[in-house]
Structure 1
Amino acid sequence: MPLLGLACLAALCLVCFGDAMFRGGQFAYRDAGHFYYPLNKVVQDEWAAGRVPLWNPWENGGMPLLGQATSAALYPGKLLFVGVPYEWGARIYIIAHVLLAVGAMFALMRHWGVSRAGAALSSLGFGFGVPVLFQYCNIIFLVGAAWMPLGLLAADRLVRLRRRRAVVELAAVLAMQTLGGDPQATYVTGLIAAGYAMAIAGGRRPGGEDRPRRGRRRGLVALAAVAGLSAWIAATIAAGIWLPDLRPEPTQTRPMPVFPWTPYASKAVLVPWAIGAVVLLAAWRKSPRGKARLGALALLIGSAVLAGLLAAAQLLPSVEFNGMTGRASQEGAHEIYAFSVEPYRLAEFFWPNVFGVAFGVESTWLYALPPFGSQKIWIPSLYVGGPVIVLAIAGFGFRGGSPGRGMLAGVALLGVLAGLGTYTSPLWYARFSPELADRLGPHDPAMTGPVRLDGELRDGDGSVYWLLAAGLPGFGAFRYPAKFLTFAAVGIAGLAGFGWDRLVAGRRRPVVATAATILALTVAVGVAFAANADRFVSWVASSPMAEQGGTFGPIQPEGARDEASRALGHASVMMAAMLVLAAMAPRRPRLASALVLVALTADLAVANGRFVMTVPQELLDENATPRVLEVIAQAEEEEPADGPYRIHRMPVWSPPGWMLSGDPGRVQELVRWERGTLQPKYGLLSGVEYTHTEGTAELYDIMFFFAPFQRRLRAEAARLLNATPGQEIVVFPRRGFDLWNTRYFVVPLVSGDWNNEFRSYASFLPDTSPIDPDPDALAAMSDEEKRRLYLEEDVQVLRNEAAFPRAWVVHKVRALDPIEGLDRDARAARNIELLHPGPGDLFWDDPSLPVYDLRQIAWVEPDDPTVLNGYVPGGPPSAEERVEVVSHEPTRVVLRATLNRPGVVVLADVYYPGWRLTIDGEPAPIIRTNRMMRGAAVKAGTHELVYTYEPDSFRIGCLGSAAGLALAVGLLGWSALRPRIGGAGPEGG
């Protein structure tokens, strides 16, 4: 059996990763390509250069690198990159974590006494089920999932078996998840451990059979559940009717403000938790069971504290950074419902890819179902294997057998309900009623932000995920409900192992009933589907989304039909196989075990292998210069910049020709085009400095320089855009991009929609020179050539003639008090004045606002205003005054400034804690300038300014990590002498 299990694992690895391992492929679909591949390359390059990867100067004027959780800069798993070429490290890193997921799940199930066959079923279903396997596209989530089974194992050893060394084991897992970039997985693992401790402490064991079930108690529990559910539905609908009236009136700076109490909600939620803790502490101290629960919680808290210490070197910089991002702003509005899983998609657990596939060739019919085009697909399928889902349903339960069964049942249930996100809210269902929709408002429009523009509650308010986000301290900072399906996969796969052992032990009825029911339903649906296949094709073709198309072309109705047919056929075969295995397992367990592993392997290979996509490695080779960079390099040879510069590439658009036709090779085409046009973060591979990119979090203040807004076109602007006067368009604050040293704009060739923030580059047109395509060459093209260029390339490069240098001198300042906190209103007026371009601007000219020449004056917010005494005599800078950027490394910037008289040297790099400044070797204060830039008061003459990044958060974090390591070693030594908590000496086991 062990050899067969390894052979099955090898076969799945070959199917899923064969291109990457043997045929020169690289993981590059979605975030795996344009986000993690370049980001991890930056981290590894910093280590190779002998620097700790502390700072990222290539994005957003500079931002922390170690402080971004996604960088996972100190994660020990990054040692996989050592000693191998980077491209191989990128492959090994992903494959190794899938194997870790498989091995960790196998260890967890064996720990709970599951047979080798059952553990192998669980591990293969977990590691190669789509919810985990597809996270190769989002590597930090794969890391978090891979470690979770070991976290549950350590929690059981700590809470139930009372093993002292398990304190360190659980802390190590939590630290690994945190360092690996997935603090949400850390949070959820801790949450599961706490729930398990509450259930098992004091003699109540989930899954234990120490107490007989009583029908009366079950009836009371069911009655209470129905009453509670009814009350919650009524309360949610009532809130949907009355709460919108309590929103403040919109203003110019707050188009649709959140509720008045929102800024305080995250802090207020701590109050009931504190009160509850005090009450429980007082109550539990009086009973043995309560004391046991307190003891279990104390152990978990101790493990969590140790984990925090172990991860402190990365955790503290991350906390510091996140505390200054939009997620921590006092607005409190944060999109939490994106990528909710529609309820009907639960059918994908039984019928693999029944809704089609949404990449390569668009064969999905998902968009023909409600909410009609608003679906955002995080994982393309939920399939974990036919045998796994049947055995999991048969093995589901909270009592009987191992205590792990009850834990996994709870994990599976919570994961599925939370993963549905929006769609467990009563509001979403109530709004299908026209009468209720008149009171509650319609369903959320597509592309709805954290707050609806009409002020109504979101569809997801009142859902299970909303309860988690609103009721658990700090949980609202996370996002993506669909990620909970990754956690649910742990429970589902684990239950399958228990289900197999129960089947082998002779409990066939649950398996037979489940498989027979699914088979009967599948056959019935299949027959009906076959009889109405033509109608199905016509229905898909007539859906609102059928003709719109996307990155992978228009929806192919015939392809959708074929995918659904294959799904039903596939499921029929697997359910029939499970009926045969159910009959065989009690009589011939060894043969049945071998057959079920082979069947699951074939099942997962056929259904899920297609979701692992690679592209040829040469598309990502750093020695291959992207086409846009070649164009810019040629422009720089003809007219070189005076110092370093930044490039702004509009973040999200694709050639319109892709919407017209599908192509099985579109993934390669996508990567080639995105790399060639510098889609963020691909440019990091070539040393590009981006003006503005969007990731998981950005500094709250920096966003004000680049956030779009809407304006009505005046006649002159309308003529420039060949648009209608009075038309509303999206405008970006051009002055913000000029200030931040943006020398080139990379934008679509033709907008097509000036009200689309992803294609409206109107404000980038004035004061720019077209670099590519060459205007003369473009004019000489035929209409057919122009059409091809637009449909297939759709990119142009503009040189910004109004760009500021990287650093400059001013002799006049506008001194303002520093802003405390992260409130929008405190910043709005300052930023509007700072960015208002004044008369002559085609898109934003407000006569009521003053106009400032920021080449002569700077906004400053000094902590000590006296530092500017004698340094700001006023007047414009002279032609002889200049600032040269001598060196610009990630954690060290050297300037040589020549001033005829005292002044302020402005550096268009981000102002951030941890930066130090010396002028001619002497320490000097850094002044917050122009809201987010670094300024320095400099005397007349020529001086050397040296900025170095030496964050206290990293230094203190290193001390914390060192203390954590010492404490962990001490606890391990102690546990060798006294293994059990409360034990008297060494024990086995």
Structure 2
Amino acid sequence: MSSPESTSPALPSSEPSQRARVHAARSEWLLLVACALGLTALYFHRVPLTGEMFSERDSLHVYLPVFHYWREAVLAGRFPEWLTLDGFGQPYAGTLVVAPFHPSKLLYLLLSLDQAFNANILLCFPVALLGGYALTRLWEVPRPGAFLAGMAYAFSGYLVCITNNLCYLMAAATVPWALWASERQLRAPGPGRLLLAGALLALVLFAGDVQAFCVTYGLVVLLALSGPAVAQRSRLLAMLGVLGVGTLLAAPQLFSSVALMGTAEAGGRTLDIAQEFSLHPLRLLEPLLGPYLVFPEQVPEASRAVVIKLAPSGFASFWVSSIHLGVPVLLLAGAGAWRHRRSRTLWLWGSVWLLALGLSLGDALPLYGAAYAWVPPWRVFRYPSKLVPFLGLGVCFLAALGWKGVFQGEARRAFLRLAVTVVVGCLVLAAAERWGQAFTSGLLVPRWPEMPEDLRELLSSRFVIVCLVASAGAALCGGGMLQPRWSAGVLLVTQFVSSAVASEGLYELLTPEVLSTPPPFVEEILARPRVEERVPVRVASHYDVAGLTSKIEGLDPLQRRSLGSVQTLMPDTPGLWGLESAEVHLPGGSRRVRAIVKEVTPWFLVRAPLFSVAYSVHPVMEWKPLEAAGRKLVGADASLGAVMVEHPGVLPRVFLANARCVDSYETAMPLLEDTLVRSGRVALVECGAAGPGLATGDTSAVGGQVRVERYEAESLVFEVESPRDAVLVVNDAWFPGWTASVDGVEAPILPANVAVRAVPVKAGRHQVTMVYRDLPARWGLGVSALTFLGLLGMVVARGRRARSA
């Protein structure tokens, strides 16, 4: 080697080649992004062609109303900390499923509500595709194989159907990127990579899915354990850093959610609730064949009957209508498993995959019940089907490794053997059903002996068709593999087409006019005079659109039901027009409020007026008992079979009452039916240390006057004039984080009437102020910001040192 003073010719600079590599990588990713966006536009072509928006299930019931609420608040100059439109109110940041800290919220400031919602959903698919691509490329999978793996994951039946529940879609789309960034940090630690990995892990939680966040953490641990033995120690240390930074960056969501654990009641409150939406064993052939137990083109009663009688799931519907993956990706995964069959890493990951599969089956196996009983943190989770995208991601990753083996020749024969097996097996299944009803009569009819013959024929023909389609797909893949020049293209095209054929028709759209056109019941409410214009009207609904059979020209049955849910004020659709829904639909709702509304009959016939519920919607069959209880009919819709009633004796949102001290809300529950309580003369207050001075024993009406000066989400101001000592009752949910002052002097906020707030006031004139501040979320934002800025500073300093060197 020459000394620095050597006169030998200098080596040519590597800068041009470095620039060329950067340019090539940039060009590659631009092409990939264009392809991912193009495939998404092609797959979801109905969205731009119809101008409609995603509308199924929680899209209308949760996300659109809450995102409208967030948008209006931010445009008015405040970041919402209190969410008023559900269950008497709840902390906004603690309502995890509405993704309060996710950056996708910026879309709702730039676009109209329906356009932003569509963009939010559609962007998840190229993100998922590119994440799968980037992850598998770390294992030197050829580009076409990595693209197929990402495409199979992005357009899997689960992701397509979970467009009805945005938070789980965003989380599933982010997981591959979080694993990609974590693996890069495990291989070559650095502050920049650490920041990126932690940020992407935090984004999984910010998407609104705590279970996906925890499972992804577990997968990062597995990644650390799966590396070379010589690098085990460094990978474990890097893993601790990644998980630690991810936790710190996710602090706003973690802090606010943990703070609710003593007050809210989310997750699997019982084992039965936790196991709702289990993956039924009858669906285990769906990844290969596609959905054969749902009929999107038929009347939905058929699918509903199948779920109830044959494959019970939560709320008489599947969590997702399809868990299809596709023939090509499964053949490649099988080839990958064959190629790596002696790998200890494969056996490790395979064991975890089987564990996740067992858990996803829920009540079909004792495994989920054992986890619920013996692992207390697991009780936070519910709905076993939410593990399905992790199963799909594992199959797609193995398929990418299989592609590598097949096109290098090591697993080519295994692929062809599997293709032949699938062709023959699917043909045998189709023939056995066509001529022997092996599937319907052998498996389904014994579970439902009274199955209508027309439904059995429908199930039979559906099963035969999906078997024949899968057989044709396997034959196409096998035949393509015999033509090396076309094999990659055949696999890619077959994968996309099979995904589209199986699941494209399973996402639901509806005209965005539903967001700007108040339904008749809402128009009736808004047209009626109110005592206090500043205070939103609180409503309730006991209508179930599952029984809706009326038709509207131009709408399919599923669209009709979505429209019906808006027309009948099902939670939380009233929030679209500034109304509040009394029911607790969101997971951050108070357990006290849940206790009040849980029992339907006492809630609607006795308790609702006590908590300022002015109107409620019911099926027409409930009108007679409602009329007998003194409810007044204010609207009816014959096409829906629904009536809207007005509740007599509705208490105002804010009023003065005498305090009657109780020990706990459990003690107060049976006392809510007391006439003195229902009339508002007495409030059941958990007095605590203030007891001796609060309960005077007086039961006559307090009288006095309460004037609402301000009634905003996080700030309430009242002018109160009371003839004697009393409590000011505010019929909104009691939660930690609210503070009160009377004439500028701090005052306690006590739980009253089980679930709402009371502030003691002395006789005379006073100004009472209530303010809500989500301190856990604010502290969490500080921790997250300090972590981000600290790591960013390390990245900048390291870059400067590298340039100076």
Q: What TM-score comes out, normalization by structure 2 length?
A: 0.87
Select 1:325's aligned residue among 264, 273, 295: 264
SS in 1 for 2:491: helix
Contact 2:605 2:629 in 1 (8 A): no
Report how far residue 653 of structure 1 moved: 0.9
The answer on 1:185 being equivalent to 2:193 is: no
Report how far residue 744 of structure 1 moved: 1.1
Select 1:383's aligned residue among 324, 342, 355: 324
Structure (1 or 2) with the greater helix fraction: 2
What per-residue deviation string (whole Å, max 9, x for no partner) do you get for residues 778-804 of structure 1? xxxxxxxxxxx65x3111111111221
Select 1:627's aligned residue among 520, 525, 536: 520
Report how far residue 5 of structure 1 moved: 6.7
Report how far residue 976 of structure 1 moved: 5.1
The answer on 1:893 being equivalent to 2:731 is: no
What is residue 770 of structure 1 aligned with on the other side? Answer: 633
Q: CA RMSD in A?
A: 3.6
Contact 1:892 1:947 in 2 (8 A): yes
For 1:806, the aligned partner's letter is: R
Select 1:351's aligned residue among 289, 307, 310: 289
Moved more, 390-399 or 69-78: 390-399
Measured at CA, do residues 956 and 296 of structure 1 come closer, stay the same or move farther in structure 2, by a change above 3 Å? same
Measured at CA, do residues 314 and 920 of structure 1 come closer, stay the same or move farther in structure 2, by a change above 3 Å? same
Contact 1:126 1:384 in 2 (8 A): yes
Task: In structure 1, list runs of 5 or more residues that go unmatched.
Answer: 204-288, 426-461, 549-553, 710-729, 752-759, 774-788, 820-826, 839-850, 980-984
Report how far residue 164 of structure 1 moved: 5.2
What per-residue deviation string (whole Å, max 9, x for no partner) do you get for residues 253-312 of structure 1? xxxxxxxxxxxxxxxxxxxxxxxxxxxxxxxxxxxx9xx45x644433332232222122
Contact 2:89 2:589 in 1 (8 A): no
Report how far residue 510 of structure 1 moved: 1.5
The answer on 1:67 being equivalent to 2:122 is: no
For 2:730, the aligned partner's letter is: L
| Cα distance in structure 2, aligned partners of 1:631 and 1:910 | 27
Task: Summarize the alignment of residues 198-213 of structure 1 with structure 2, pairs less than 5 Å apart.
Answer: 198-200=225-227, 202-203=229-230
| Cα distance in structure 2, aligned partners of 1:411 and 1:655 | 37
Measured at CA, do residues 82 and 556 of structure 1 come closer, stay the same or move farther in structure 2, by a change above 3 Å? same
Report how far residue 970 of structure 1 moved: 3.8
What per-residue deviation string (whole Å, max 9, x for no partner) do you get for residues 331-360 of structure 1? 866722111112231111111223342675
Contact 1:896 1:943 in 2 (8 A): yes
What is residue 615 of structure 2 aligned with on the other side? Answer: 744
What per-residue deviation string (whole Å, max 9, x for no partner) do you get for residues 625-657 of structure 1? 1211122234x24x8679746444335512745
What is residue 659 of structure 2 aligned with on the other side? Answer: 813
What is residue 963 of structure 1 aligned with on the other side? Answer: 786
| Cα distance in structure 2, aligned partners of 1:370 and 1:804 | 41
Measured at CA, do residues 547 and 529 of structure 1 come closer, stay the same or move farther in structure 2, by a change above 3 Å? closer
What per-residue deviation string (whole Å, max 9, x for no partner) do you get for residues 713-770 of structure 1? xxxxxxxxxxxxxxxxx6547443222111112111114xxxxxxxx99478513111
For 1:341, the aligned partner's letter is: L
Measured at CA, do residues 333 and 513 of structure 1 come closer, stay the same or move farther in structure 2, by a change above 3 Å? closer
What is residue 490 of structure 2 aligned with on the other side? Answer: 595
| Cα distance in structure 2, aligned partners of 1:673 and 1:852 | 35
SS in 2 for 1:82: helix
Task: Summarize the alignment of residues 770-789 of structure 1 with structure 2, pairs less than 5 Å apart.
Answer: 770-773=633-636
Measured at CA, do residues 321 and 986 of structure 1 come closer, stay the same or move farther in structure 2, by a change above 3 Å? farther
What is residue 11 of structure 2 aligned with on the other side? Answer: none
Task: Summarize the alignment of residues 133-144 of structure 1 with structure 2, pairs less than 5 Å apart.
Answer: 133-144=160-171
Measured at CA, do residues 963 and 151 of structure 1 come closer, stay the same or move farther in structure 2, by a change above 3 Å? same
Contact 2:267 2:381 in 1 (8 A): no
The answer on 1:420 being equivalent to 2:355 is: no
What is residue 125 of structure 1 aligned with on the other side? Answer: 152
SS in 2 for 1:695: coil
Report how far residue 68 of structure 1 moved: 0.4
SS in 2 for 1:322: coil
What is residue 613 of structure 1 aligned with on the other side? Answer: 508
What is residue 20 of structure 2 aligned with on the other side? Answer: none
SS in 2 for 1:516: helix
The answer on 1:584 being equivalent to 2:488 is: no
The answer on 1:512 being equivalent to 2:416 is: yes
Select 1:883's aligned residue among 693, 703, 706: 706
Contact 2:656 2:702 in 1 (8 A): no
For 2:713, the aligned partner's letter is: P
The percent of aligned pairs where both chains have the same amino acid is: 23
Task: Summarize the alignment of residues 462-501 of structure 1 with structure 2, pairs less than 5 Å apart.
Answer: 462-463=366-367, 465-472=368-375, 474-501=377-404
Contact 1:917 1:923 in 2 (8 A): yes
Report how far residue 152 of structure 1 moved: 1.7
What is residue 9 of structure 2 aligned with on the other side? Answer: none
| Cα distance in structure 1, aligned partners of 2:518 and 2:480 | 56
Measured at CA, do residues 536 and 917 of structure 1 come closer, stay the same or move farther in structure 2, by a change above 3 Å? closer
SS in 1 for 2:620: coil
For 2:724, the aligned partner's letter is: R
| Cα distance in structure 1, aligned partners of 2:256 and 2:350 | 36
Report how far residue 39 of structure 1 moved: 1.6
The answer on 1:909 being equivalent to 2:732 is: yes
Select 1:158's aligned residue among 185, 190, 213: 185
Count of residue pairs brought into register by the alignment: 774
SS in 1 for 2:680: coil
What is residue 750 of structure 2 aligned with on the other side? Answer: 927
SS in 2 for 1:801: coil
What per-residue deviation string (whole Å, max 9, x for no partner) do you get for residues 917-975 of structure 1? 23233433223222322212223333322211122212322221222212321443466
SS in 2 for 1:771: strand
Report how far residue 410 of structure 1 moved: 5.4
Contact 1:159 1:201 in 2 (8 A): no
Q: What TM-score comes out, normalization by structure 1 length?
A: 0.72
For 1:35, the aligned partner's letter is: V
For 1:894, the aligned partner's letter is: V
| Cα distance in structure 2, aligned partners of 1:505 and 1:662 | 56
The answer on 1:168 being equivalent to 2:61 is: no
Report how far residue 913 of structure 1 moved: 1.3
Report how far residue 614 of structure 1 moved: 1.0
For 2:202, the aligned partner's letter is: A
Measured at CA, do residues 58 and 655 of structure 1 come closer, stay the same or move farther in structure 2, by a change above 3 Å? same
Measured at CA, do residues 658 and 736 of structure 1 come closer, stay the same or move farther in structure 2, by a change above 3 Å? same
| Cα distance in structure 2, aligned partners of 1:299 and 1:79 | 32
What per-residue deviation string (whole Å, max 9, x for no partner) do you get for residues 227-257 of structure 1? xxxxxxxxxxxxxxxxxxxxxxxxxxxxxxx
| Cα distance in structure 2, aligned partners of 1:764 and 1:742 | 17
Select 1:525's aligned residue among 413, 419, 429: 429
